[in-house]
Structure formats: structure tokens, C-alpha cells
């Protein structure tokens, strides 16, 4: 078999056999197919699409590109959550310690920033010393000791996704239901979990902007999980505006710790508790989602979740003093405001533009080799439905280099739409899939 023939076949709308997909993924993972050929195939697959059988074969090939972790020696349920990605989405940092403190293990394999969205690993790496590249042995040890462990794909776990993810980020081949499904489900199913809660974003800051596409993505992922014998549910959640008040790595770590201290933005707290509640329920720790929500609230109110986060940071080599002292995090030297040029009610935001603006400040990657600036960030002062007066700040930009500042400011200013009449607030959890 030759990669060039498979690229041509997909380019011409052909259907791949399971053997062809296995060849593509295993040869690419071994380094026998170069990045440029895989990029060409990804673009062909993005444009021509993959059918049901191809999508299942791709997911399984990527899953079996590495090991499937065996946690059978660890008592208790193992449950994870995965988000399809958005702007300011930092719930993993909050719910992992909540759920671990409540007695359910959270073996979490996360990704880096992708396209305009931020990645859990990049956020955690703003904590000095935090190691997201644990070996499989270390991953299991940390999980046993504190009930949570957050790492990236390794050479052992879903290595195909690790390589393909970085390539998709740099070749504009992210927003495709089959590629997203295979990427997410291959690494989640490799974690050795009993159940999975999916947070499928929808709206102007999501990869799937239309609700019906988000529902379709949720359905295919839930179906694959269930076919592999895992409990799964998907929450379709709002991404028409950033989640919480901040986007940017250090800023999001601080905001997450604030929620664990019982403070922080309401939407971020509500969604983190809701996702935790579902994790408790699917992990059979609570009899209902309602009971799970109460347990999650208790973990925050008692400080147990915060202490669990401290322990998790320490076990992964990070400086746990960050919990009490945010000044150890990288910070931007400069800041400036984007001011509203009109009065009215905030009606909509083009949320993806905020993610792009953050990446332009150095908070994201344009090529897969790019280094991230963990200190830059955006602070959002208004939410959809809020009254805004002319001259009020809409966003504070925290930056280190003014090279692209004018363009960043213009993009952010253009991302707001106002209305003369009151606009309803956004509903955070729009639908459930798989229940």
C-alpha cells in the first residue's frame, strides 16, 4: 500500500477499507509516512468526509496506535470528561479535583491548544515545574495516590492522535466531525475509563458552530463510547461567548483556583459543578445527577477539592504554592483596554475572534513548533445581555509584545454586536445527548 494512492482515493471521494485506514495510521505513527502526506490526506478527508465505517475504523486505529491503560488493580470507578474545545474553557482544572475528592478516579489525557481554542496541558504548564509528560507508570502512580492525573498523549497512549492533532492545528483541518470524534475518542478510550462525560460546545467560539452539528458530533461520540462498553453522556453547552471571565493560560489557572476556593465566575462554576455531577452519577458515586451536584458543591465548600488540586500539582512536579500565591505564575508586563464605542445591550460576540486574538498575542501556536506565552490573556468585562455604556471597557488585553496589538484590538472590538433592546442571557447547558 502507498500513502499517495490513499490520498488520491480520498481526494476523488473514494471510500477507504479498514485495512487502508490501519495502514495509514500505523505507518504514520511509526514515522514511515511524512507529515506532508498525512496533511494532504487530512485535507482530503476534511473536504470529502468519512462515512460511519471509516470513522469507526479511524477511531479504533488511532486507539490501538498505543496501549490501552489497564487500571484493574485500582479500586473504584474511573471517569473522565472531555470538551470539544472553546475559549476560556478551563473546567478540567476544576472538576478533576472535585471528582477525585468525591471518590471517583479521574485519569485524564488532554490536548494542547488547537486552532483558536486553549488546551488543558498548556494551561497546566503555566504552573512552574508541572509535568504533563508523565510515563504510563507515573500516570498510574499519581492516579493511585490522589485519584486524578492529567497528562498529554504519550508515546504509549494514543500516539497517533498526538502527532495528528499537532498537524491538524497547523493545517486548518480541525473542524470536522469524523476527525474530532476519532481524536477525542481514541485518547479517551485508551485511558482505561468506565464512563465518559462529553462537553460538546456549540456557538461562535466552538468548532461546531451550529447546534445541529454539535448534536451530531455528540451522537457519534456517545455511540462509539457505548459500542466500546463505556457509559457516556454528552452535554451540549454554550460557546457563543467565552466561559468565565478570562482566557489565557496563567489567567485561567488563577480563575480555576478561585472557583475551587468558592469564588470565580458564575457560568464557570455552574458548568464545572454540572459536569462533576454527571461524572459522579456515571461513576455510580451518586444515585442521581442532583445528588451528584450536591456532592460536588460539598467538595468545594469543604475545601477538599482545593486540597486535592494542591496534592495533584505537587505529585506532578508543580509548585503547589500557586494555590496561595498567584505571583509565581508567568504574567504579562503590559495591559490595555478595548473600549466600547457605543451604548446598548450586548447581543452577541464572535467568540472565535477572541481565541484568534489570544493566539496572536502569543497565547496559541501558528506552527506546531511554536512556543506559547503563558502570561498573555484577555479579561472579559461584559456578558451577553449586559447593558454597556459608551466608553466602558469591554476587554482588558494583557500582553508582552505590541507587534500585533493594533490588529488584536481591532479584531476584539469588531467581535461585539449590540442591540437597543434587552437581549436574553445565554442558556449554558442547551441539551443532553445519550440519556
Compute the distance between CA of residue 203 and CA of residue 374 in angstroms, rounded to an integer: 26
Fill in the per-residue mask, 25 to 64: x = in contact with ligand URA (CB under 6 A), - = not in contact: ----------------------------------------
Question: Closest distance between ligand URA and the C-beta of residue 406, in Å?
Answer: 31
Q: Grid coordinates 494583557 are at which residue?
A: 398
3-state class (DSSP) for residue 82:
strand
Residues 200-259 that bind ligand URA (CB under 6 A): none
Closest CB to ligand URA among residues 170, 348 = 170
Question: Closest distance between ligand URA and the C-beta of residue 115, in Å?
Answer: 8
65 binds ligand URA (CB under 6 A): no
CA nearest to 94, candidates 245, 255, 256: 256
Could you tell me which stretch among 180-188, 195-203, 319-327, 392-400 binds ligand URA (CB under 6 A)? 180-188
Among 105, 153, 183, 202, binds ligand URA (CB under 6 A): 183
Question: Closest distance between ligand URA and the C-beta of residue 96, in Å?
Answer: 16
Which residue's Cβ has the minimum distance to ligand URA?
183
Cα angle, residue 411 at apex, residues 407 and 389 outer, rounded to 5°: 120
- Alpha helix segments (H runs only) across 154-242: 159-171, 177-189, 211-227
Closest CB to ligand URA among residues 124, 184 = 184
Compute the distance between CA of residue 183 and CA of residue 389 in angstroms, rounded to an integer: 43
Return the biggest CA–CA distance within the chain.
63
287 is catalytic: no
Compute the distance between CA of residue 79 and CA of residue 62 in angstroms, rounded to an integer: 20
Q: Grid coordinates 462537553 are at which residue?
A: 199
Which member of 55, 77, 82, 90 is catalytic? Answer: 82
Question: Closest distance between ligand URA and the C-beta of residue 109, in Å?
Answer: 9
Length of the chain as a residue count? 435
Asked whether the CA dihedral 136, 139, 144, 147 is positive or negative, the reply is: negative
Question: Closest distance between ligand URA and the C-beta of residue 55, in Å?
Answer: 13
Helix (H) or strand (E) holding 22: helix 18-29
Complete DSSP assignment for 25-73: HHHHHTT-S-HHHHHHHHHHHHHH---HHHHHHHHHHHHTTSPPP--TT
Which member of 64, 90, 140, 187 is catalytic? Answer: 187
Question: Closest distance between ligand URA and the C-beta of residue 117, in Å?
Answer: 7
Q: Under rule CB under 6 A, how many of the chain's residues touch ligand URA?
A: 9
Per the structure block, which three cell numbers stand in for 302? 469543604
187 is catalytic: yes
In this structure, the number of other CB atoms found within 10 A of the CB of residue 366 comes to 11
180 binds ligand URA (CB under 6 A): yes
Q: What is the DSSP letter of 328?
A: G
168 is catalytic: yes
10 is catalytic: no
Per-residue three-class SS string for 329-356 = CCCCCEEEEEECCCCEEEEEECHHHHHH
Closest CB to ligand URA among residues 207, 345 = 207
Residues 2-31 that bind ligand URA (CB under 6 A): none
Question: Closest distance between ligand URA and the C-beta of residue 184, in Å?
Answer: 5
Residues 68-127 that bind ligand URA (CB under 6 A): 84-85, 111, 114
Which member of 90, 162, 168, 231 is catalytic? Answer: 168
Q: Is 333 exposed, middle or buried (0-12, 13-18, 19+ CB in 10 A)?
A: exposed
Among 45, 150, 157, 184, binds ligand URA (CB under 6 A): 184
265 binds ligand URA (CB under 6 A): no
Could you tell me which stretch among 146-154, 175-183, 281-289, 302-310 binds ligand URA (CB under 6 A)? 175-183
183 is catalytic: yes
Q: Strand 344-349 and strand 416-419: pairing?
A: antiparallel
Could you tell me which stretch among 31-39, 174-182, 221-229, 299-307 binds ligand URA (CB under 6 A)? 174-182
Closest CB to ligand URA among residues 84, 340 = 84
Site residues (CB under 6 A) for ligand URA?
84-85, 111, 114, 174, 179-180, 183-184
Which residues are catalytically annotated? 82, 161, 168, 183, 187
Amino acid at each position: 500500500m502507498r500513502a499517495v494512492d490513499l490520498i488520491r482515493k480520498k481526494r476523488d471521494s473514494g471510500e477507504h477499507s479498514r485495512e487502508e485506514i490501519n495502514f495509514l495510521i500505523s505507518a504514520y505513527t511509526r514515522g514511515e509516512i511524512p507529515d506532508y502526506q498525512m496533511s494532504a490526506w487530512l485535507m482530503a478527508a476534511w473536504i470529502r468526509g468519512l462515512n460511519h465505517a471509516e470513522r469507526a475504523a479511524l477511531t479504533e486505529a488511532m486507539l490501538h496506535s498505543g496501549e490501552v491503560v489497564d487500571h484493574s488493580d485500582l479500586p473504584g470507578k474511573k471517569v473522565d470528561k472531555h470538551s470539544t474545545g472553546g475559549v476560556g474553557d478551563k473546567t478540567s482544572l476544576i472538576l478533576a479535583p472535585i471528582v477525585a475528592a468525591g471518590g471517583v478516579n479521574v485519569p485524564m489525557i488532554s490536548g494542547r491548544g488547537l486552532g483558536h481554542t486553549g488546551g488543558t496541558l498548556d494551561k497546566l504548564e503555566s504552573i512552574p515545574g508541572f509535568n504533563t509528560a508523565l510515563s504510563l507508570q507515573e500516570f498510574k502512580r499519581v492516579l493511585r495516590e490522589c485519584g486524578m492525573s492529567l497528562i498529554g498523549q504519550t508515546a504509549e497512549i494514543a500516539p497517533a492522535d498526538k502527532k495528528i492533532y499537532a498537524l491538524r492545528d497547523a493545517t486548518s483541518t480541525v473542524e470536522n466531525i469524523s476527525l474530532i470524534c476519532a481524536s477525542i475518542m481514541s485518547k479517551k478510550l485508551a485511558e482505561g475509563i468506565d464512563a465518559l462525560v462529553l462537553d460538546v460546545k456549540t456557538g461562535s467560539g466552538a468548532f461546531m458552530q451550529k447546534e445541529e452539528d454539535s448534536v451530531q458530533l455528540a451522537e457519534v461520540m456517545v455511540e462509539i463510547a457505548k459500542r466500546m462498553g463505556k457509559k457516556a453522556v454528552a452535554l451540549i453547552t454554550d460557546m457563543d461567548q467565552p466561559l468565565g471571565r478570562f482566557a489565557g493560560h496563567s489567567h485561567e489557572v488563577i480563575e480555576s483556583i478561585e472557583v475551587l476556593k468558592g469564588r470565580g465566575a458564575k457560568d464557570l462554576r455552574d458548568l464545572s459543578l454540572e459536569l462533576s455531577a454527571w461524572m459522579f452519577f456515571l461513576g455510580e458515586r451518586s444515585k442521581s445527577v442532583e445528588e451528584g451536584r450536591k456532592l460536588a458543591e460539598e467538595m468545594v465548600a469543604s475545601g477538599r477539592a482545593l486540597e486535592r488540586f494542591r496534592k495533584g500539582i505537587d505529585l506532578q512536579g508543580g509548585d503547589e504554592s500557586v494555590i496561595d500565591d498567584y505571583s509565581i505564575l508567568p504574567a504579562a508586563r503590559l495591559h490595555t483596554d478595548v473600549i466600547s464605542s457605543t451604548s446598548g445591550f450586548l447581543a452577541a460576540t464572535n467568540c472565535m475572534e477572541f481565541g484568534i486574538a489570544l493566539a496572536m498575542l502569543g497565547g496559541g501556536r501558528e506552527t506546531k513548533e511554536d512556543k506559547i506565552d503563558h502570561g498573555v490573556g484577555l479579561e472579559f468585562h461584559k456578558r451577553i445581555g449586559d447593558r454597556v455604556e459608551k466608553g466602558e471597557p469591554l476587554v482588558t488585553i494583557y500582553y508582552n509584545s505590541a507587534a500585533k496589538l493594533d490588529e488584536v484590538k481591532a479584531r476584539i472590538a469588531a467581535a461585539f454586536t449590540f442591540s437597543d433592546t434587552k437581549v436574553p442571557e445565554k442558556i449554558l447547558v442547551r441539551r443532553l445527548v445519550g440519556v
